[in-house]
Amino acid sequence: MIAKLEEVSKMYKVGDQEIVALQPTTMEVKEGELLLIIGPSGSGKTTLLSLLGCVLYPSKGRLWVDGQEINRLNERQLAHLRLSTIGFVFQSFNLLAPLTAEDNVLMPLRLQGVKNAEARQRTQKALEMVDMMDRRKQLPKQLSGGQQQRVAIARALVTNPKLILCDEPTASLDKDSLDVVMQELRHLANEGKSVCVVTHDPRLEKYAHRIVSVNNGIVTTVDKIDH
Ligand X SMILES: Nc1ncnc2c1ncn2[C@@H]1O[C@H](COP(=O)(O)OP(=O)(O)OP(=O)(O)O)[C@@H](O)[C@H]1O
* Span of 24-32, 34-42, 149-157, 174-182 interacting with ligand X by CB under 6 A: 34-42
Distance CA 108, CA 70 (A): 22
Q: What's the closest the beta carbon of residue 214 comes to ligand X, in angstroms?
A: 6
Positions in 4-23 near ligand X (CB under 6 A): 12, 14, 19, 21
The answer to whether 135 contacts ligand X (rule: CB under 6 A) is no
Q: What's the closest the beta carbon of residue 115 comes to ligand X, in angstroms?
A: 38
Exposure b/e, 97-132, CB count within 10 A at least 16 = b: eeebbbbbbbbbbeeeebeeeebeebbbebbebbeb
Q: State which residue, 127 or 198, has the beta carbon closest to ligand X.
A: 198
Strand residue runs (E) in 39-116? 60-65, 68-69, 86-90
The answer to whether 47 contacts ligand X (rule: CB under 6 A) is yes
Q: Hey, how many other C-beta atoms are within 10 angstroms of the C-beta on 59?
A: 17
Contacting ligand X (CB under 6 A), which of 9, 25, 46, 85? 46
Is residue 62 a contact partner of residue 138, using CB atoms and an 8 Å limit? Answer: no
Q: State which residue, 39 or 169, has the beta carbon closest to ligand X.
A: 39
The answer to whether 43 contacts ligand X (rule: CB under 6 A) is yes
Distances 69 to 79, 88, 173 between C-alpha atoms, Å: 14, 20, 36
* Span of 36-44, 60-68, 80-88, 140-148 interacting with ligand X by CB under 6 A: 36-44
Number of residues lying near ligand X (CB under 6 A)? 13
* Span of 38-46, 78-86, 148-156, 218-226 interacting with ligand X by CB under 6 A: 38-46
- Amino acid identity at 121: Q
Judging by beta carbons within 10 Å of its beta carbon (0-12, 13-18, 19+), is residue 186 exposed, middle or buried?
middle
Positions in 181-210 near ligand X (CB under 6 A): 200
Q: What's the closest the beta carbon of residue 29 comes to ligand X, in angstroms?
A: 17
Closest CA to 181 of 162, 202, 197: 197
The answer to whether 45 contacts ligand X (rule: CB under 6 A) is yes
Interface with ligand X (CB under 6 A):
12, 14, 19, 21, 39, 41-47, 200
